[in-house]
Structure 1
Amino acid sequence: MNIGKIPNDILEKLLYKNIGKKQPEILVGPGIGKDCGVIDFGDDVCVISTDPITGAVNKVGYLAIHISCNDVATTGTKPIGAMVTIIAPANTQLTEIQSIMEDINRAANELDLEIIGGHTEVSPAVNQVVISVTALGKIAKEKLVHPGKAQVGDDILVTKTAGLEGTAIIAMDREDILARYFSRDFIDRASRFIEEISVVKEGLIAGKFGAHAMHDATEGGILGALWEMSKAMNKGFEVDINKIPIAKETRKICKIFDIDPLRLISSGSMIIVTPDGEQLLKLLSNAGVSATIIGKVVGGTTPLVIYDGEKHVLEPPESDELYKAINYRE
């Protein structure tokens, strides 16, 4: 199998059919484009998400907390706690674990949440540190944002720029290659994209505004996230590819590795489906979050992208473009 997330068609055929016994308290279970599970506790619901970090080497603790909390925020919910599992290879030094925990603590403090437990071990089963984080939050049931609320005519927004996380990871982990082409200042700027990977702020703003659906763009990039969102909403859309913002640092780095920036892991970008996108743009801008309207929800269930005036059916995501950079050899 290819490196990266298991393809969605396999998930549908195999994994989603093996989920144990249905429970009445489970409001939202597994599904393509569904970032979280939701458990009914009466007037409130508990929102839970879990994610590993496997494609990065540096700042993995910081990334892990933010990535899982981003998923929780897609429901309009503030994350309040997280559990962390760290599996390290046999040659790991104590100082490395300490650095990871300090990064975890930094991210947790930024998000105002508590680390409530986890598991840490050294194992020959891995050749680099693997971290998995389960994040959770609580929200009133009637305020929960869910893809099923999306309506034909809704605007589709994307926050910040495509490929944010991938750009930061490549800048930090493939400096050996980038240093041949770019200045120290350029690489440092790209590395600092990691500071923009949280989408909790925009998730809470959009949830309070009344957004109908949200999805954070992780593996597969913006285009992969859009395809997944179409499946979760069970609705089609038309998105103008030329309107998706891409930072100049991302464009230049992607060119070196022959990477499509729209299919590069993009934590830090939230895709938001909402009525009155222009008004939400203003609210986000006032909060210091850049956003762009890139399309609309349409009838049917086919996701369409517009490129240079022509409509094309958006294909399912494949292996993330990040792995081209990770495995790159000159």
Structure 2
Amino acid sequence: MPETLLCLRVRHLPAYAMSYSNSTDFSNPSSFILLGIPGPEVAHIWISIPCCAMYIIAVLGNFTILLIVRMETSLHAPMYYFLCMLSVTDLVLSTATLPKMLSIFWFNSREIEFSACLTQLYFIHCFSVMETGIFAALALDRYVAICDPLRHSTILTNAVVAKIGLAVLLRGVLLVLPHPFLARRWPYCRTNIIAHTYCEHLAVVKLACADIRSSSYYGLLVTFLVIGPDVSFTTFSYTQILRAIFSLPTKEARLKTFGTCGSHLCVILTFYIPTLFSFLTHRFGHNVPLHFHIIIANMYLLVPPMLNPIIYGVRTKQIRDRLLHLLTHKGT
């Protein structure tokens, strides 16, 4: 079925894409061709405008978080360390995808070297795994801060935060490491055209003229090993947090805490829902329009890096106050 879907989609690719396909030896491709968003090519320049704006906001916002936490010693605490980890992850995720995507939209620069494609594939999936782990770590921090505030400093010590950060890093690095090695070993004899804006794992290996079940099954295993525990733990943490919120004595305190946690949950869902949609569409959604699938698949790489510094950073009073102090101090 995936092979049939691939043939149907390649058949309806633009003429310039077919010319690439007809003039290249794919048994050991030196490069792939990224089509961007097939279908609305005439709208690429308009699609690039919000993408570029989101990238600029993501870069400025995340660098601002890192700068403020480094400068302000009072922010050297578990929550802000996790925020810094999240900012670094977001910067890598957005930078691994947006510049190439914009070069496709603006300059029609669609070619990407085979090794560069596998490197991009690795960084995207590795840091996506890290992102889910950091969301779980932030949920743990909020759970302890709200449900057991007196023990927060003794439970989440600097040593514990460092161990959590190392575990998140190693899990992402090691779990995703087989992806590019498995992708490299396949022979590619169908086409070197990737109907996507970046080198997504399944979008690449589906081009191989071999039995790719080991890549597919391993990708499925990684998804369950990562999404299952992280979503379960985050759900449990925020369920307990909500229970604690509704037991707060005043309505004002309940609304304030609920608003903060609600915005956190919205950002988390913005990451998880497109991720799961893309994962399921690759395997089962053969009737989903290709351009719609690609747009949704880009959302979890574009929107969370932009929203995270706003929701986790600017809405956090200590960071907001420090940012306002820096701006007003420079103004004087």
Assess same fold via TM > 0.5.
no
TM, length-normalised to structure 2: 0.30
> Which of 1 and 2 has higher RCO (CA within 8 Å, sep 6+)?
2
Larger helix proportion of the pair: 2
TM, length-normalised to structure 1: 0.30
